[in-house]
Amino acid sequence: DQISDLEAALSREKDLSRRLLADKEREIAEIRAKMQQQLDEYEQLLDVKLALDMEINAYRKLLEGEEERLKLSPSPSSRVTVSRASSSRSVRTTRGKRKRVDVEESEASSSVSIAHSASATGNVCVDELDVDGKFIRLHNNSEQDQPMAGFHLTRSIGDVSATYKFTAKYVLKAGQKVTIWASNAGVSSNPPTDLIWKNQSSWGSGENIKVVLLSPDGEEVAVRSTVFKTAVEEEEEEEEQEPEVIEERFFHQQ
């Protein structure tokens, strides 16, 4: 009888241990899920912050350019308020042997407009470029992994260019994004999503920026450009177009 009692007590202890272990595993799973959710939210906030930083830097550089052109002395306490008037985006897909996607975006404001254009013929597109020269981001928007051996990423600002070469072993996974950071961006290397260009302190900055992704054969497989225009430049372009509009209306009246 004593042996039976001991066996029953041991069985109860085993059942209790199993329940406690299951509860602990469930708690660990819940904590991991919460951590993953917080990481996802943090990444989303970081993307928003980077986009806002890029836009603020663009407006700051355009303001500095206007101050220099008009020979104005900037005031440390001055505030700049920019109201966006319009925003547009268009996507065109061309059918053929290879898929080509063209994207055009424009942002207009009371003092400056920023025009973005992008196109891609392969699996990888230039997803984003930092106008302050901190990073360039690529996106493999296909369902296939893309080996990047022999690919070159070139950024051109006027006559000045810089070229980044991917390592022979790097593969951009399907649906994945990779950010190539300049060495002075203050970001730590985190392959395969964050790469550091150690030999380049900055991608460079300017009013007209063009980024091209070249295949090992030298073919342009993805292009993205950003063009900045002030309100004065837009008015001059509209004035140049006015005679053509008037002439066209006069022709229709005849």
User: Which position has the higher pLDDT, 147 or 99?
Assistant: 147
**If you average pLDDT over residues 63-84, what whole number do you get?**
55
Contact present, 140 and 122 (Cβ < 8 Å): no
Q: Is the pLDDT of residue 244 over 50?
A: no
Token look-up 């101050």 returns 67
d(CA 127, CA 140): 9
Q: Give 76's pLDDT tier (boundaries 50, 70, 90).
A: very low
Tell me the per-residue pLDDT of 180-235, one tens digit each, with 9 for 90 and over.
999 988 888 899 999 999 988 988 887 788 999 999 999 999 999 887 765 544 45
d(CA 36, CA 24): 18
For the whole model, what pTM was predicted?
0.51
3-class DSSP assignment, residue 176: coil
